[in-house]
Amino acid sequence: MPATSEIKKSKLKLVFKTGENERGEDILNSKIFQNIKPASSNDDVYEVAKTLIGLQNLESRNVIRVNELEIQEQ
């Protein structure tokens, strides 16, 4: 039987460069925003991410959306 999936939870993860280590490698830290509406479009989530990034004094590296799916048989 084919399986279907439904997004149950969604969160937004922003990754920032917070400095460099002694070898010159980037130090990255992330901030996770929980409870993003699962029905939100990727465009809407990205627009919110850009706004949040604009409030930071850190260099942005990644915008990641994490979806938790429930998978069921049809």
Quote the pLDDT of residue 22: 97
Quote the pLDDT of residue 74: 84
- Residue-wise pLDDT tens digits, 29-69: 999 999 999 999 999 999 999 999 999 999 999 999 999 99
Quote the pLDDT of residue 1: 79
Does the pLDDT value for residue 28 go beyond 90?
yes
Q: Which residues pair with residue 51 across a beta bridge?
A: none
The domain spans of the chain are 3-73
